[in-house]
A and B are shown apart, each in its own frame.
Chain A
Amino acid sequence: MTKNVIPIGPFHPLLEEAEYFKLTVDGETVTDIEVDIGYMHRGHEFISERKTFTQSIFLVERICGICSTSHPLAFVHAVEDVAQTEVPARAAYIRTLVGELERIHSHLLWLGLAGHFIGYDTLWMWAWKYRESVLDMFEVVSGNRNHYGIMRVGGVSRDVPADVIPGLVAVLDTVEGKMAMLAKAAADDPVLHSRLKGVGVLSRQAAVDACAVGPTARASGVAIDVRKDEPKDAYGWVDFKAIVLPNGDVYDKLVVRVLETFESIKIVRQCLDKLKTEPGPILNDVKEIPAGEGIGRHEAPRGEVFHYVRTDGSNRPIRHKVRAPSYVNIPTCAVSCKGIPLADALITLASVDPCYCCTERAIHVVDRRRRIRAVNLVELSRRKTERLRKEIHG
């Protein structure tokens, strides 16, 4: 049989973002894979050197819309590492709360997309339906669905008032119940088993060699979790497990993510509990950042986010290095995709939960001839936010 080259990308429904995978196939078996990235490169590191530390928080938030807590959190950790600043306890709990809510929403997002990729749209719709509740919680905590803008050097910018907490706990209870149902439906489906078990195996050694992180590594039996290894914020004070599974196939990656979601719900619950009583400020005033260098990291939903900041005593960094988890996870596909059928290779590509924007860090109607008499939906949306707030405030 002749060898064909299948271009996955730059625009392909499998990829939400523009990316280019060149799969060499023999019949339908993938024999080689070549990754070409750079379609998302926006030069974050370059721009960041021209922004102050506070401005940079908003910039790094826009590295990726799904990890929009992890990057700012890792960045403020890095700056705090330079300045050796301590964070108030209440702020630490809020950071952990937001970080774990993000993990729940991201894992639900992945579960849904994975369903979509193997042609199971019902799973997609169900997962995203419950994800909306998590986004509602975000709207209450931070005021926005994505891009929360809540991290600051030395604390957080916004408090979680005690009177919203019962409402949040109620939403969390529903999400947990629905998640259990979804997990059972996904984990017990025999067709899903036949589709995902033993597919795209990444051995432990390959994961170590590629320096893989996050659920990709943990599903291959590599026990690394920044939350356990270097507990920052409130991670040292809450009780949770790092999920590690041995097989390294797509199914294990799914299970790791599902189980992690339950752990995250547990953490969120503990944080909300503490926030009811924990007094104190939410922001330590950091006057200046001394010259020096610092490393900050955070366990994002996809793995360890790494930020390195070097300062010279001025109000902006002279070097800001960002390394997102997908940057080290995507190369593992080269190992796990070889020699398996195309249909499997594609779900394997998706199983590392690739996030290319991270990897490369890098209303007006034009035609105004007629006035449009439609209900102003922006106004409606504002009203809905108000209503939700009222409902949750009780």
Chain B
Amino acid sequence: MVDKNQFLEAMRNRIGSIIDKKGRLYFELADEQLSEVARYLFRTMGCRLSTATAMETYHGLEVLYHFSHDATGQYYCPRVIITDKNAPRVTSITPIVPGAEWIEREMAELWGIRFEGHPGPEKLLTRRHPGRLDRPLRLRRQP
């Protein structure tokens, strides 16, 4: 069984600053490292992707993935920070974690983030929607 320290050891070169709380591990990483870390978490450690959260701060957009290691109750949360607010893009992890398909589609339509390499980048909630929802969860909507 791989525990938190082994994970940190293996991924030392790939991840940035770490917030370590009781049972939750939040860490920043660059977009290029996301696939590798996700593969390690999902395939090697057998984590389950709970969900992903996108959010907007004054500095940019963030995508925060929540991987749950069910055997220990530990959460691993890789965070990707996107500074380009106009054309945000992140690498999709759906090819690695099939369960990420819906949440990535949802983030794409509610936040306007493009997920590169997503197998079915269709809208999730607003297909056949009569109105136009323009990234409703963003703080300041772009014109």
Contact = CB atoms under 8 A, between A and B. Distances in A.
B98 A210 contact: yes
Contacts, number: 81
A81 B24 CA distance: 10
A45 B102 CA distance: 16
B124 interface: yes
Size class of the contact patch on chain B: 35 or more
A36 B48 contact: no
A36 B98 CA distance: 18
A38 B127 contact: yes
A43 B109 CA distance: 13
Contacts of A294: 24
A360 interface: yes
A229 B55 contact: no
Interface residues on A, range: 35 or more
B70 interface: yes
A224 B48 contact: yes
A206 B127 CA distance: 26
Interface in B49-95: 49-51, 53, 55, 64, 66, 68, 70-73, 75, 77
A212 B102 CA distance: 13
Question: Secondary structure of the A side of the interface?
Answer: mixed
B90 to A, nearest CB: 16
A293 B125 contact: no
A38 B51 contact: no
Interface in A312-336: 318-319, 321, 323, 327-328, 331
B117 interface: no
Interface stretch (A178-186, A244-252, A303-311): A303-311
A45 B107 CA distance: 12
10 nearest interchain CB pairs? A211-B99, A230-B73, A38-B125, A323-B51, A321-B53, A319-B55, A209-B98, A224-B70, A229-B73, A306-B50
Given A310-B55, A327-B103, 6 more contacts: A43-B136, A211-B97, A295-B66, A295-B75, A306-B66, A308-B51
Interface of B: 21-24, 26, 46, 48-51, 53, 55, 64, 66, 68, 70-73, 75, 77, 97-103, 124-129, 136-137
